[in-house]
Structure 1
């Protein structure tokens, strides 16, 4: 199923879009931080520094404005601030949710650490998590702004649970909080929300728990608000076709890094939500050519027709050099615009959409 019969995609088509066909372009969320912002974060943590909270706020504002404009300059249809105010996708939200506490940093992989939180009391919603961030970015942007939110299943899975009987119970309570946050974001004008659930790729047998979380997340959310789900890596055959039952408008997959070996997973049975397809690799520090990206875009047309295809990088780009990240976005948009023109001109064959059974 899909969340509704409402076309949530067409609202993001630019008024001056030059072709009849429209493939929505976006980014997953994170983006390389300017080096000076990293230095500002360090200064703010230095007790001997005169760099205070107001200075850090100004630095975050400047960086968010800078990256939002960088996304627009690349030509994206919907933009994000690159998550300039966020440190890590779980830690950032746990600091804003009553019931979480922190015990110290743990090693994730390589030389990367994060402050893994513990749930020490029942989780509760207090102050909005992202509304200020969204309002600032919307004010800075000329394009529509997408809001990525770490999903409740990942927030539960990547935390120590010291209170709830099961991780699922924790995830369901967190899903209710995400629903409250989205309500606040919608009141502030948000029309495009992306739920990030990377933990699902590592524990795909829990797809039913994620489905229940999503039901809670979208409860009461207007049908014209676009809800996407991003899941990176993993064996997608272990959650397909079950994901067709998720109440979402769009499913975002990471397939470029794997050479689209799993693209056929989504062709039988029919893929029901819109497909957001990664067409540039977030893990290689080389900018793909426009010609190469065009071929990657066409992989998505094996699964859905053009009016159901969104194009993005595989995942967040924060680990790449900034000039590489920008080059990938710029070439991605160029490739998409060329594919749209070729679709208008009838130069690309599109597989017929199977007729739905009565």
Structure 2
């Protein structure tokens, strides 16, 4: 007998990033909304057909989005922020996600512990859920009529949607109202012939309390009453469910559980309490977040154990989560060494793996990817002299109150990208490319001086990506040609493959930074990506302990930090935007990670002299529960995302009495709008309400590589004016 197969979600971007190109063509005014809709429909249907052609029995619909699936659910139920209520329906999605000339975009943050970003629902007591045009129904009928495929509609579950929302609102009242609208949506689907309907509740992978479980019980009881014909599929992922047996009592037909991140807990629960005979178990046995082929022995053992406990007819095989988090296909990776590609499984290859496991085809294609890695053992400092002593030693920078800087990167123009392509293909010599990069560095050093920034950056023009660049320079890492993954909006990244021990061979950033510093008397920051972020934004071989990888990368980055310092660079930024993202979802599992991550950062940064100032940057995560970790990192200055969260993040730094330099980002770089001076001064006033003036730096939320030069210059000009205004106000107060 063959097991039934299912997928939770599939990558949106397309093998050649067709999705990204269509979106950006529309945003640039090159194609109409009608043409965008046509192209998106074509992609959506092709992905459904591809999964069915691969032999997947239950193919999702609704996982595809023109921006973000959480935002889709928010708009589906009419819960977009009030400021966007008057925006026409065909423009609303992008207005909320990207902002308009007059309206700031909604907040964006990390999707649980991944590098995918979702648009945060903003709710108030005035929020009134109401089912809008049912796109999910439209897409279900579309697949049925045009492909003859009976799909499985997928939607963010009501409890997760509310749990991820921000704002002041009566949760129980809003939940009751929301369930009525979810019920209408489900009824419309079942009336149209839908059977299985998947509701994603990854919030169950967090530490759950009685209130959350009560909300789950209430929600699925009510939804079953609204849509009694629906085969409700409660889907969890990103870890184990602490009280999975409580789900057994719910009036749902399928329970989807993660057997990758939650393997041990899941097997323990199945052995301790009988899985109900009237439900199906959707078993997530293939890693939906990594690109290495499955260890057949591990998967075989899990399936065999589960089949001893659950009737075979009630078991469905699927990935551990949506395949959104991996690239599309290995077939486009001809440039990679065969010894590496033989070990890879992207989304399409995972579909083939899934089908093979469903046919019990284990012994015919056993894969062994195991190889032990070793961590370097070197006696290096992992702490610095106290911060107060470092502040005195760093007075030589002679910076004003509210020093103005940027996060690191400047716009990567079409010409720059063309030059890089020509260089990589051998049409442009090394000297030719290096000369062009120096021209760009000099141009932007002069522009920063004209803008009156206090601390400059070289602009990172030589870098294609903040992780990929270092991965290309370090041994033990490899790169794909088309291994793109969506990060936020149309922004896609190409994570490196960590396939072997990692080590540093020679300076990676010194030449460009020293050249930039030679052009100005103002300090220029050396710009590096931190060890934790490189690891978390790479596909790490699954048999290699994460602590080893952190440690090896830390020693490599330490060598680069010391090379910069030796070359005369006295301000060095080691970015760790992924450090919070990697925090395990359950508190009991967090301490080990915190210790590993902090140790790695301190190994990388603690060998410098007290007079060398260490910066770091973090963004688009919730920091409220990670302040002890941030404090332990002991950076001299931290810059954080601030504007898109409407200043909420500063509460964490206030509550924990943070006493080091901090740059709260005063404008959102992910939106094309140019913020006014008044908006930025308002952000700085918020910062001043909880932080001493002498600690505050002025900077954007993040790097500027994705914006146009025109947008950047106008925004930075306003940012400098905002800093000058705040400085003047401080001088008046101090007279």
- Residue 579 of structure 2 corresponds to 200
Q: Distance in 2 between matches of 1:338 and 1:67?
A: 24
In 2, Cα distance between equivalents of 1:280 and 1:111: 20
Residue 409 of structure 2 corresponds to which residue in structure 1? 30
Question: Following TM superposition, by how much is the alpha carbon of 1:80 offset from its aligned partner in structure 2, in angstroms?
Answer: 0.8
- In the alignment, which of 251, 264, 272 is matched to residue 638 of structure 2? 251
Q: Which of residues 48, 60, 76 is equivalent to 2:453?
A: 76
Tell me which residue corresponds to 1:355: none
How many angstroms apart in 1 are the aligned matches of 2:492 and 2:675?
30
Matched, 1:325 2:712: yes
Quote the residue 2:530 is aligned against: 151
Name the count of aligned residue pairs.
340
Pair 244,2 (structure 1): closer, same or farther in 2 beyond 3 Å: farther
The yes-or-no answer on 1:213 pairing with 2:592 is no
CA contact (8 A) 1:3 1:249 kept: no
Give the deviation of 1:157 after TM superposition.
Answer: 1.5
Q: 1:227 is matched with which residue: 611, 614, 632?
A: 614
Q: SS of 2:484's equivalent?
A: strand
Match of 1:287 in 2: 674
CA drift of 1:9 comes to 5.4
Give deviations 1:95-133, integer Å, cap 9, x for gaps: 111121224332221555444322232111101011111
Kept in 2, the 8 Å contact 1:153–1:200? The answer is yes
Structure 1 residue 94, shift from structure 2 partner: 0.7
Q: Is residue 465 of structure 2 the alignment partner of residue 88 of structure 1?
A: yes
Rg larger in structure:
2
The reply on whether 1:138 has 2:520 as its aligned counterpart is: no
Show CA shifts across 1:320-350 (max 9, x none).
Answer: 12111111111111111111111110189xx
- TM-score, reference length from structure 2: 0.44
* Gap change, CA 1:86 and 1:232, over 3 Å in 2: same
* Equivalent in the alignment of 1:353: none
TM-score with structure 1 length normalisation? Answer: 0.88
Distance 1:115 1:287 in 2: 29
Tell me the distance in 1 between the aligned counterparts of 2:669 and 2:397: 24
CA deviation digits over 1:269-310, x for unaligned, max 9?
311221111011111212212122111112221332111111
Contact kept? 1:254, 1:314, Cα under 8 Å: yes
- Cα distance in 2 between the residues matched to 1:87 and 1:159: 15
Q: Indicate conservation of the 8 Å contact 1:274/1:308, yes or no.
A: yes
Render the CA deviation track for 1:61-107: whole Å, top value 9, x for unaligned: 11111112222221110111211111001110011111212243322
Q: Tell me the alpha carbon deviations over residues 170-203 of structure 1, each in whole angstroms, 9 at most, x when there is no partner.
A: 1111111111111110011111111111212322
Report whether the alignment pairs 1:173 with 2:552.
yes
Q: Is the 8 A contact 1:2 1:244 kept in 2?
A: no
* 8 Å Cα contact 1:104-1:116 kept in structure 2: no
Distance in structure 1 (CA, Å) of the matches to 2:396 and 2:454 = 10
- Quote the offset at 1:146 in angstroms: 0.7
- State how far apart, in whole Å, the 2-side matches of 1:154 and 1:74 are: 31
Which of residues 122, 125, 148 is equivalent to 2:504? Answer: 125
RMSD (Å), alpha carbons? 2.2
Deviates more, 1:250-259 or 1:164-173: 164-173
- Deviates further, 146-155 or 105-114: 105-114
- 1:229 touches 1:251 (CA, 8 Å); kept in 2? yes
Q: Which moved more, 1:290-299 or 1:22-31?
A: 290-299
User: Mind listing any 5+ residue stretches in structure 1 that lack a counterpart?
Assistant: 349-358
Equivalence for 1:264? 651
Contact 1:244 1:271 in 2 (8 A): yes
**1:2–1:71 Cα change, 3 Å:** farther
Q: Does the 8 Å CA contact 2:532/2:600 hold for their aligned counterparts?
A: yes
Structure 2 match to 1:316:
703
Q: Runs (4+) of structure 1 moved beyond 6 Å?
A: none
Distance (Å, rounded) in 2 between the aligned partners of 1:259 and 1:115: 30
Deviations 1:128-176 (CA, angstroms, capped at 9, x unpaired) = 0111111111112332101221110011112232387311211111111
Q: Distance in 1 between matches of 2:566 and 2:537?
A: 29
Deviations 1:11-33 (A, max 9, x none): 3335xx6xxxx111110011112
For residues 639 and 490 of structure 2, the distance between their equivalents in structure 1, rounded to whole angstroms, comes to 28
* Counterpart contact for 1:147–1:190, Cα < 8 Å: yes
Equivalent residue, structure 2, for 1:344: 731
Q: Structure 1 residues 288, 114: closer, same or farther in 2, change over 3 A?
A: closer
Mean Cα displacement is larger for which, 124-133 or 244-253?
A: 244-253
User: Which secondary structure state, in structure 2, belongs to the residue aligned with residue 267 of structure 1?
Assistant: helix
Deviates more, 1:33-42 or 1:166-175: 33-42
Deviation track 1:32-72 (CA, whole Å, cap 9, x = no partner) reads 1244322322333456x4x3332212111111111122222
* 1:160 paired residue number: 539
CA-CA distance at 1:256 after TM superposition: 0.5
Aligned in 2, Cα 1:13/1:181: closer, same or farther, shift over 3 Å?
same
